[in-house]
Amino acid sequence: MEAFKIKIQPTNRPAIIKFEANKFLTRKQNYEFKNVDEAKNSPLAKQLFYLPFTKTVYISGNFVAIERYDIVEWPDVQNEVAEQIENYLNSGEPVIIEDENTPSKIPVTVYAESTPNPAALKFVCNKKLVLATYEFKNIEEAKDSPLATGLFHFPFVKEVFIDENYISILKYDIAQWDDIVVELREYIRLHIEEGKDIVNEDATAKAKSTKSQTTTAANNKSVDTANLDDTSKQIVDILEEYVKPAVASDGGNILFQSYDESSKTVNVILQGACSGCPSSTFTLKNGIENMLKSMLNDKVNEVVAING
């Protein structure tokens, strides 16, 4: 099983800092503790209150956030706190001890959203579902995702793409969205509400090993740029900052694959609703390609899209 790792994330409030884990800490609800007595059902939060500067502890999804008193500054103590949280999580001790008052079901909202691809629909959830990006082309590929496996039992589901808080589904032409959207939305909602796994540990490990073996990221928010040349790093930064947010809003994802300096060609991989989308080529040629040409001067001649 993969070890917990903690990443420090500042917030827009100087007194509060987030310690993000690479795995979920809780799924059923969010927790806020204002003192050690309130933290009786959270051994982790209780331990953090032994730090004299801890004012409030928040636990939600894959992170712990701490609000401090003004007796210290975060840069002076944040690394030690991150190490303490990481060691606690890897000890195997519980983050939350559930009691009879803990809800058995997770309140969740799911709504359907159209995409530029008429064969794809995006189902958006008000909860974080995964910490990485997953694309499944068939039921065999989906063996490590209980949710995707269930969706492939619908005969009209062609592909499943899961990102942070949404699922994009590509369908076969045998069905119309008006006839199946309610059924799919309810299936997804009930799966999440009942606390079933979206992806299991094997799927997470597989996604992260894929990241390490290629120069693209399984996680849609980061790319391993250690072995890339300077131009490739610039391209990755542009895609991450300017392109990915827009593509994600359409239910898809774009990954940098390679850059050929001799031909000045950039290869990218399209996922989710963008994969095979009729408007993808138009978008690339008139959007991403022009952007890269403009921002990188004469370093880019062409962008080639590969469907994931």
> In this structure, what is the dihedral angle of CA atoms 128, 131, 136, 140, given to the nearest 10 degrees?
-110
Residue 295 has pLDDT above 80, yes or no: yes
Q: Hey, how many other C-beta atoms are within 10 angstroms of the C-beta on 177? A: 16
pLDDT at residue number 207: 54
Q: pLDDT band at 280, cuts 50/70/90?
A: low
> In terms of C-beta density within 10 A (0-12 exposed, 13-18 middle, 19 or more buried), how is residue 293 classed?
middle
pLDDT at residue number 278: 66
pLDDT digits (tens, 9 = 90+) for 54-82: 999 999 989 999 999 999 999 999 999 99
Structure tokens belonging to residue 225: 């740029």
Closest by CA to 188, choosing from 152, 144, 151, is 151
Q: pLDDT band at 106, cuts 50/70/90?
A: confident
pLDDT at residue number 305: 81
Closest by CA to 247, choosing from 272, 210, 226, is 272
Mean pLDDT of 205-223: 43
pLDDT digits (tens, 9 = 90+) for 136-190: 999 999 999 999 999 999 999 999 999 989 999 999 999 999 999 999 999 999 9
Closest by CA to 144, choosing from 207, 206, 202, is 202
Closest by CA to 84, choosing from 19, 174, 160, 12, is 19
**Selection from 34-43, 206-215, 293-302 with the highest mean pLDDT:** 34-43
Residue 228 has pLDDT above 90, yes or no: no
Please check whether residue 273 is in contact with residue 250, taking contact to mean a CB–CB distance below 8 angstroms: yes
- In whole numbers, what is the pLDDT of the chain averaged over residues? 86
For 66, residues 6+ apart whose C-beta sits below 8 A from its C-beta are 16, 17, 19, 48, 54, 55, 56, 57, 58, 81
**Selection from 26-35, 166-175, 232-241 with the highest mean pLDDT:** 166-175
Residue 281 has pLDDT above 70, yes or no: no
Q: pLDDT band at 217, cuts 50/70/90?
A: very low
Mean pLDDT of 24-35: 89
pLDDT at residue number 103: 61
pLDDT at residue number 245: 83
pLDDT at residue number 169: 95
Closest by CA to 61, choosing from 22, 16, 9, 34, is 22
Please check whether residue 302 is in contact with residue 266, taking contact to mean a CB–CB distance below 8 angstroms: yes
Q: pLDDT band at 212, cuts 50/70/90?
A: very low
Residue 106, φ and ψ in degrees, nearest 5: -95, 120
Residue 222 has pLDDT above 90, yes or no: no
pLDDT at residue number 208: 47
The string of DSSP codes covering 250-274 is: TTEEEEEEEEETTTTEEEEEEEETT
pLDDT at residue number 166: 94
Residue 219 has pLDDT above 50, yes or no: no
Residue 105 has pLDDT above 50, yes or no: yes
The residue to which tokens 């039992």 are assigned: 153
